C-alpha cells in the first residue's frame, strides 16, 4: 500500500511541476509586457542612461534558462533590482480634479497569479511611485512624439531580436498611448500572443513588411497602415485604369484614372466585376482583408481596398463582369500608376446653383482662408449653402463657422494621454468654435459627406453641425477623427495612429462609427451608370422641400 502511495505522490509532484512549465511564447509575452511597463513607469529607466532595447535582448537571452513561473519571477526581480533603488514619489497622487477616460486602462496583469508575491510587490511599488517625466514620449500640443528610440535599418530584418524589439515596442506604444485601444475588434493582448511566433518565424524581408502592415491594420483605424515598396510589390504595382467601390459581392467601376486608357479596354461606369482571374471579388476581398486598413467595413470596401482587388505585376488581368444584365469575360490592361496621370482642370471654388443655392468645394488648396470674405459676400443672399466635405479640407473651420454662427459654440471634446500615468487618458477642455457675430448667414446649411470624409474633414463636419438647422447628407464617414501621430519602424518608414480621442460634447464617439448622416444616400448601380451625384441631388431636393 505504501508503495502505491509513493508512486501516486510522485505522479502528483511530476504533474504539478509540469503544470508550472512555461512555453517560450508565454515567457516572451510576459516579458514584452514587463519591459514596456518598466519603460514607461520606472523613474531610473526614464533618466535615459540605460540602453533599454539592449536590456530586452539581454533578458530574452536569459529566458532560455527559465523553466517555471517561479524562475520567471526571480528573473524579473533580479532585472528590476539591477536598475537601481527607486525613491518614493512625492507627487504621484492622482489629481482629484482631473477627469479621466479609463476605458483603455488596465494594469490588473501586474498582480497576475503567474507572478510571485515578491514580484507583484515590486511591480505595484513601481506603479505607485512611477516616473513623472517621460524619456520615450512627449506631447507636441496634442500630438504624441515617440522620442529617443534607437534607429534600425531595413537590412536588420533578418535579426530575430530586432523583429521582437519592433513588435514589443509598437505593442506597448498602442497599449499605453492609443486612445481607441478599447474599440479594436480583437483584444490587444491576444494580438501580442498571436504575433510573437509569427515575428520569430519570418522567412523573408517582404514577409516582415507585410507582417508590420497587418499589425497596424489590427488597430481598425483608417489612419493606420504601413506600406513600403515590398508591400506594394506583393499587392501588385500595376493598376487597371478604373477606380471602383465594392457593393455587395461586386467591384463596380465608378470613375477612371485616365479616360483614354479606360476606352482602350471599353471600361464603363457601372460595370460590375464578379470575378478577377476567376476568383470571386468578395473572396478576393476576404483573402486580403488582413491587409486592408479602415475603421469600418464601409470604408474598407469603398476606399482602402483599391490595391487589393485588381492590382498585379503582370500587364493584364481577366475579369468577368455584368454590364446591364449581360455577363461578359475579357482581359483588361494594367498600368504603372504614373502612366495614368492626366492634367486635371482647376477645381471651381464655389458657385450658385439652381434655386439660388450656393455650393462650396471644400477641397484642400481650393477654398483658402483668404477666399472666405469674398465667398461669403457672394453667397450671403442665397437660400442655402451646400458645403461639400467629400474630400480633405483646409484647416479653416473656425474662420468659416465665424460667418455662420451668432456666437462661439462647443463642437467637440477630446482625450489625450496622461504622460504621468501611462495608459490613462485625460478629458481635456471642450473645443469652442466661431466668434460673436450679430449678423450671421441667414440661409440653410447642408453638409455633404461620404466614406472619403476622414480625419480633419470629419472634425470639419462636426464644426458645421453646430449651426442651427444644419443637416448632413450622404453616407457614413471614415471613422478616423482626430490628429495623427507617427511611429517609425526602421529607416524613414513609419506607420500612423489616431493620436487624439475625439467626441461630441455629449460624449458620443466618432471613431470607427464615423459621422452618421441625417439623410442617408446609399450608392446605387444606377447612380454610378448615369454618372449621377445622388448626394448633391438629395441635398438640393431637401433644401427645396424646406
pLDDT confidence band for 425 (50 / 70 / 90): very high
Q: Do 372 and 442 belong together in one domain?
A: yes
Q: For the ranges 22-26, 185-189, 197-201, 536-540, which has the lowest average pLDDT?
A: 22-26
Q: Do 218 and 255 belong together in one domain?
A: no
pLDDT confidence band for 346 (50 / 70 / 90): confident
Number of domains, the chain = 3
Q: Reduce the DSSP state of residue 543 to 3 states and report it.
A: helix
pLDDT confidence band for 504 (50 / 70 / 90): very high
Please state, in angstroms and rounded to a whole number, the distance separating the CA atoms of residues 241 and 257. Answer: 5
Q: Do 363 and 477 belong together in one domain?
A: yes
Percent of the chain residues past pLDDT 90, beyond the cut: 89
Report if residue 11 sits inside a domain.
no
Q: Do 422 and 386 belong together in one domain?
A: yes
Give the CATH number for residue 313: 2.30.42.10
Report if residue 104 sits inside a domain.
no
Q: Say yes or no to pLDDT of 16 above 50.
A: no
> What pLDDT is stored for residue 42 in this prediction?
98
Query: By the 8 A CB rule, do 412 and 503 touch?
Result: yes
Please state, in angstroms and rounded to a whole number, the distance separating the CA atoms of residues 297 and 304. Answer: 10
| pLDDT tens digits for range 435-459 | 999 999 999 999 999 999 999 999 9
Query: Which residue has better confidence, 39 or 90?
Result: 39
Prediction pTM value: 0.93
Give the CATH number for residue 545: 3.90.226.10
Any idea what the Cα angle at residue 354 is, between residues 353 and 360, rounded to 5°? 20
Q: Reduce the DSSP state of residue 402 to 3 states and report it.
A: helix
Please state, in angstroms and rounded to a whole number, the distance separating the CA atoms of residues 297 and 519. Answer: 20
> What pLDDT is stored for residue 429 in this prediction?
75
pLDDT confidence band for 11 (50 / 70 / 90): very low
> What pLDDT is stored for residue 546 in this prediction?
67
Q: Reduce the DSSP state of residue 231 to 3 states and report it.
A: helix
Q: Collect all residues with Cβ–Cβ distance below 8 Å to 488 and sequence separation of at least 6.
A: 146, 149, 494
> What pLDDT is stored for residue 148 in this prediction?
95
Domain that holds residue 39: 18-98+115-135
Q: Say yes or no to pLDDT of 210 above 60.
A: yes
Q: Say yes or no to pLDDT of 345 above 80.
A: no
Q: Reduce the DSSP state of residue 129 to 3 states and report it.
A: coil
Query: By the 8 A CB rule, do 330 and 318 touch?
Result: yes
Residues in the chain, total = 546
> What pLDDT is stored for residue 347 in this prediction?
83
Of 397, 385, 318, 394, which is closest to residue 357 (Cα–Cα)? 385
> What pLDDT is stored for residue 7 in this prediction?
41
Single residue among 293, 317, 336 that ends a domain in this structure: 336
Task: Tell me the mean pLDDT in the region 389-408.
Answer: 96
Q: Say yes or no to pLDDT of 77 above 50.
A: yes
Q: How far is CA 418 from CA 28, 173, 331, 387, in A?
A: 27, 13, 56, 36
| pLDDT tens digits for range 92-116 | 887 778 899 999 999 999 998 999 9
Q: What mean pLDDT value characterizes the chain? A: 93
Residue 111 is placed in which grid cell? Answer: 498582480
Q: Do 412 and 505 belong together in one domain?
A: yes
Q: Do 198 and 272 belong together in one domain?
A: no
Amino acid at each position: 500500500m505504501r508503495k502505491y502511495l509513493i508512486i501516486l505522490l510522485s505522479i502528483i509532484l511530476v504533474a504539478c511541476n509540469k503544470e508550472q512549465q512555461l512555453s517560450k511564447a508565454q515567457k516572451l509575452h510576459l516579458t514584452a509586457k514587463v519591459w514596456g511597463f518598466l519603460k514607461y513607469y520606472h523613474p531610473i529607466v526614464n533618466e535615459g542612461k540605460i540602453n533599454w532595447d539592449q536590456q530586452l535582448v539581454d533578458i530574452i537571452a536569459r529566458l532560455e534558462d527559465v523553466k517555471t513561473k517561479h524562475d520567471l519571477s526571480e528573473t524579473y526581480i533580479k532585472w528590476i533590482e539591477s536598475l537601481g533603488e527607486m525613491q518614493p514619489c512625492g507627487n504621484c497622487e492622482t489629481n482629484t480634479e482631473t477627469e479621466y477616460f479609463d476605458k483603455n486602462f488596465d494594469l490588473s496583469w501586474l498582480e497576475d497569479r503567474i507572478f510571485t508575491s515578491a514580484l507583484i510587490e515590486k511591480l505595484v511599488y513601481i506603479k505607485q511611485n512611477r516616473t513623472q517625466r517621460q524619456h520615450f514620449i512627449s506631447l507636441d500640443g496634442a500630438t504624441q512624439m515617440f522620442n529617443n528610440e534607437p534607429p534600425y535599418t531595413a537590412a536588420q530584418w533578418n535579426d530575430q531580436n530586432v523583429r521582437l524589439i519592433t513588435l514589443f515596442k509598437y505593442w506597448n506604444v498602442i497599449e499605453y498611448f492609443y486612445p481607441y485601444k478599447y474599440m479594436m475588434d480583437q483584444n490587444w493582448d491576444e494580438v501580442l500572443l498571436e504575433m510573437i511566433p509569427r515575428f520569430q518565424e519570418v522567412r523573408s524581408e517582404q514577409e516582415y513588411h507585410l507582417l508590420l502592415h497587418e499589425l497596424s491594420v489590427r488597430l481598425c483605424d483608417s489612419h493606420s497602415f504601413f506600406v513600403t515598396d515590398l508591400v506594394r510589390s506583393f499587392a501588385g504595382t500595376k493598376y487597371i485604369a478604373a477606380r471602383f467601390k465594392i457593393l455587395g459581392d461586386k467591384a463596380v467601376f465608378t470613375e477612371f484614372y485616365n479616360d483614354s486608357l479606360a476606352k482602350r479596354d471599353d471600361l464603363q461606369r457601372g460595370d460590375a466585376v464578379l470575378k478577377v482571374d476567376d476568383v470571386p471579388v468578395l473572396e478576393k476581398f476576404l483573402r486580403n482583408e488582413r491587409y486592408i486598413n479602415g475603421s469600418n467595413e464601409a470604408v474598407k470596401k469603398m476606399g482602402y481596398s483599391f490595391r487589393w482587388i485588381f492590382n498585379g505585376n503582370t500587364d493584364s488581368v481577366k475579369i468577368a463582369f455584368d454590364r446591364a444584365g449581360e455577363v461578359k469575360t475579357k482581359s483588361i490592361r494594367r498600368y504603372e500608376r504614373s502612366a495614368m496621370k492626366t492634367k486635371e482642370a482647376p477645381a471651381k471654388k464655389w458657385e450658385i446653383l439652381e434655386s439660388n443655392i450656393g455650393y462650396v468645394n471644400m477641397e484642400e488648396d481650393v477654398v483658402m482662408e483668404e477666399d472666405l470674405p469674398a465667398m461669403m459676400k457672394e453667397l450671403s443672399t442665397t437660400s442655402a449653402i451646400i458645403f461639400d466635405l467629400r474630400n480633405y479640407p483646409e484647416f479653416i473651420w473656425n474662420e468659416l463657422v465665424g460667418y455662420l454662427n451668432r456666437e462661439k459654440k462647443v463642437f467637440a471634446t477630446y482625450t489625450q494621454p496622461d504622460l504621468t500615468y501611462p495608459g490613462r487618458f485625460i478629458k481635456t477642455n471642450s473645443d469652442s468654435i466661431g466668434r460673436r457675430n450679430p449678423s450671421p448667414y441667414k440661409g440653410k446649411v447642408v453638409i455633404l459627406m461620404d466614406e472619403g470624409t476622414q480625419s480633419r474633414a470629419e472634425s470639419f463636419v462636426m464644426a458645421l453641425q453646430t449651426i442651427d438647422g444644419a443637416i448632413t447628407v450622404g453616407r457614413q464617414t471614415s471613422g478616423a477623427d482626430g490628429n495623427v501621430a507617427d511611429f517609425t519602424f526602421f529607416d524613414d518608414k513609419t506607420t500612423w495612429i489616431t493620436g487624439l480621442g475625439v467626441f461630441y460634447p455629449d460624449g458620443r464617439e466618432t471613431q470607427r462609427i464615423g459621422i452618421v448622416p441625417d439623410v442617408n444616400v446609399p450608392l446605387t448601380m444606377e447612380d454610378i451608370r448615369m454618372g449621377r451625384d445622388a448626394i448633391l441631388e438629395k441635398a438640393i431636393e431637401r433644401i427645396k422641400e424646406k
